[in-house]
Structure 1
Amino acid sequence: MAGDNAAERTQEMRPARYAKSETGFAWLRLIGASMVVVEHSFPIVNPERLTILPASWDLSPGYFALMGFFTMSGYQITDSWVRDASWWRYVAKRVLRIWPPLLVVVMFTAFVIGPLVTVLDAAEYWKDTATWGYVVHNAALYPLQHLLPGVFAENPYPWSANGSLWTLPMETTGYALVLVAGLAGLLTRARVGLFAVLAAMVVLDGVLGATYTFQGRGGSLLSVPVGAMVAFGVAFVIGMVLHRYHEVVPLSRGAAYSLVLLYLVVNFVPFLQPAARFVLPFAAGYGAVVWAHHWPRRLARYDKWVYGSYGMYIWAMPVQQLIVYAGVRNSYVLMAMALPLAYACGLLSWQLVEIPTQRLRIYLRPRKKPVRNVRPRDSVSGRGAHRRERTGV
């Protein structure tokens, strides 16, 4: 009973102290996208340097942010299924969310940026099947194509016009996992089965061994590295578990900071370092969900400025490659220029692409079931049936 009273007091305090969790998630996604831009500013200029931190630290803020991204997705996408457990509406919502901004950025990259920066002549560029394949393959996600003919060929990082897209197939795999789990009852009556899924993912992740410097063993699913997919899948399933056990697992800021501290300690103690990979998704994932639920209410007034994180993430690398193409070879200058430009692209994507396509969800609302008028009867069973009709129980 004491726990129930504490939970009730927490709910009463939240409206005064904290913003809605959706606001917290939006802010954290924007911060995470910014961290990825910062990280990419180094290998794009110097491919031998993968992170802003010294290589000897074996830490990547961008990789930590991606783990948080996947846990937040697991949490929020599970919430979407629980609120409306219709498989076809669920799929339609996911398509409307991820594909329109993706199609815009890959077509702009291939049809606008490509012709401007390719080392090939115009006729050769447009005749090359890889130009059109870039759009087709990336729209299909799993057969990702990173190269455009001659595009950014003279940049220090010529291997991808938009390397950020590599995580999107893993995200859609998480969407499929939620769909399967929902249809199998793992998000409702058999939710305990999620722990078995999580345990299997953790074991498999240990076998495949993906890190921010190594995409892991296990080969590829088309163009998607299986090891990395499993590593991010662990974080995604953590989000699913946190959502389905939200009434059991406390969202403690102290515990979140303790997990991050544990990750740092394990990472820097040599004989503990092999365990760091297992602590990472829990530290990043639990922390992201906790901080989203404890976001300061005073920041909610800036909501309209923080919902462009997806657009920022998928536009950032073409923007950075263009800046490098223009002659910038200093990572910090690149970072300073790319952050505001990528943010602006994200806002434009949100306003011009994502909001209009999200409005189409109005056609995906479940139909309200008609309420039949049932005359109350004098019997106990009759009165009970009448009460259920009125309340929808």
Structure 2
Amino acid sequence: MSSRGAKTYAKPDTGFAWLRMFGAILVVFEHCFPIIEPTRITSLPSNWNISLGYFALMGFFAMSGYQIADSWRRDSSWWRYLLKRVLRIWPPLLFVVMVTAFVIGPLVTVLSPREYWGNPDTWGYVVHNAMLYPLQHLLPGVFTENPYPYSANGSIWTLPMETTGYLIVLVVGLVGGLARGRIVLFPLLLGFMVADGIMGASVGFQGDAGTLFSVPLGSMVAFLVAFVLGMLLHAYRDLIPLRPAVAYALVALYLVANFTPPIEPATRFILPIAAGYGAITWAYHWPRRLEGYDQWVYPSYGMYVWGMPVQQLYTLAGVRDSYLLIVLAVPTAYLCGLVSWRLIERPTQKLRVYLRVPDERRSGDGERAPDPDNEITQVIPAVPPAFPARPGVGSVADGRSGGFVGPR
């Protein structure tokens, strides 16, 4: 970026952090509608075939692909790379999972204490979700009388997809695909796009590929298109300019195509490009005046993973209006995220001092690249899955995704 741009815009780390916080807020906002009315996929009219959460999710996966690829560029040690990912993903996840199972669960379950603690699904909730494959969405007797009884914390359904993206970066990086062999990213992206077209996942539809260890394959492939696109944009950052005008034009193209029946099928391929290129571009063109507030937007990951338990608790208390739930749940989820950041995430991030490379490299233009390991949330807020296929574990392969959905 030019010196003029550097003076005009905030550092990219700030832009990425703010975008992730807006995404977390948007996710909690969107979920307030199906939490109350499970058949409602999004806050927008269903015939629009647009989900704000789905659009944001594509952007988040692209940002993650971009940032994680940069993390590998700066340090190509496979074991340090994996440890950094573990330190970012698992401490907040384990915290919310254990509090949900061992504190919230016993307080709100309809079962007796003996039945709850004696049920293997109580312990399985912690074990399965700690492993990510397979996820377990149900806790015995917890939130079973809520309008959406299908998951205690469905928001974590994309974490296995995110970690799959991490493994893609690892494999591609080990074979040199993020350096001189970067051309391999084009056939990789094309392969995911072809697979996405075959599986057919979209807003409100998980595709026809079924699930693997509770993860809907169609949705995972669709989101990994954006992730690999982010990797490609990073690898070719010296050739692909990030221009706000282009980003806005791509979003406009997506909207026009979405409401134009003859070309509407093309939105499958336009969406990840528009959302992904747009998110990364806006991160690099974030207003400089918003620098200095980063500590208040770092809690986005915590806000995301705590959002749904908070919403379920308010619903259990009797809230049945989506807009009232928004007023209550958004600030409460943010406060939970702030606690998670201060007590769990920030302390564990300090352990990365033992994983640093002394002679950290810089980006090609001499400017430090956006650092995904510098307190920036790497987990992508997402919409939760459909309800589980069997009690406790997994989600049904009924073709729904891209929104917080229940039975039709």
- Compute the TM-score of the two structures, normalised by the length of structure 2: 0.87
2:288 matches 1:297: yes
C-alpha separation between the residues in 1 aligned to 2:215 and 2:179? Answer: 31
- Counterpart selection for 1:317 from 295, 305, 308: 308
2:337 matches 1:346: yes
- Counterpart selection for 2:169 from 145, 167, 178: 178
2:356 matches 1:365: yes
**What amino acid sits opposite 2:219 in the alignment?**
A
Partner of 2:398: none
2:267 matches 1:280: no
2:105 matches 1:114: yes
Q: Deviations over 1:219-273 (max 9, x none)?
A: 2111111111100000100110111111111101000000000000111111211
Give the alignment of 1:22-33 within 5 angstroms.
22-33=13-24
2:83 matches 1:101: no
Q: Deviations over 1:105-130 (max 9, x none)?
A: 00000011111111111110010000
C-alpha separation between the residues in 1 aligned to 2:75 and 2:20? Answer: 24
2:63 matches 1:72: yes
Q: Deviations over 1:14-66 (max 9, x none)?
A: 23100010100000000011111111111110011111101111110011111
- Compute the TM-score of the two structures, normalised by the length of structure 1: 0.90
Q: CA deviation at 1:218?
A: 1.3
2:46 matches 1:49: no
**What amino acid sits opposite 2:99 in the alignment?**
F
2:134 matches 1:149: no
Partner of 1:16: 7
Partner of 1:217: 208
After the TM superposition, which segments of 4 or more aligned residues of structure 1 sit over 6 Å from their partners? none
Unpaired segments ≥5 residues, structure 1: 1-9, 370-393
2:123 matches 1:123: no
Q: By percentage of residues, which structure has more helix? A: 1
Larger radius of gyration: 1
Partner of 2:405: none
- How many residues in Structure 1 have an aligned counterpart in Structure 2? 360
| Greater relative CO, 1 or 2 (CA 8 Å, sep 6+) | 2
Partner of 2:323: 332
Partner of 2:404: none
C-alpha separation between the residues in 2 aligned to 1:59 and 1:15? Answer: 35
C-alpha separation between the residues in 2 aligned to 1:226 and 1:183? Answer: 25
Partner of 2:384: none
Partner of 1:162: 153
**What amino acid sits opposite 1:340 in the alignment?**
P
2:239 matches 1:248: yes
Q: Which moved more, 1:153-162 or 1:31-40?
A: 31-40
Secondary structure of the equivalent of 2:26?
Answer: helix
Q: CA deviation at 1:274?
A: 1.1
CA RMSD for the aligned pairs? 1.1
Q: Deviations over 1:50-94 (max 9, x none)?
A: 111011111100111111110010000000000000000000000
C-alpha separation between the residues in 1 aligned to 2:114 and 2:4? Answer: 65
Partner of 2:180: 189
Aligned identity (percent) is 66
Q: Deviations over 1:155-185 (max 9, x none)?
A: 0000000010100000000000000000011
2:129 matches 1:138: yes
**What amino acid sits opposite 1:64 in the alignment?**
F
C-alpha separation between the residues in 1 aligned to 2:242 and 2:327? Answer: 35
Q: Deviations over 1:358-378 (max 9, x none)?
A: 100111123679xxxxxxxxx
Distance 1:89 1:329, change over 3 A: same
C-alpha separation between the residues in 2 aligned to 1:72 and 1:78? Answer: 10
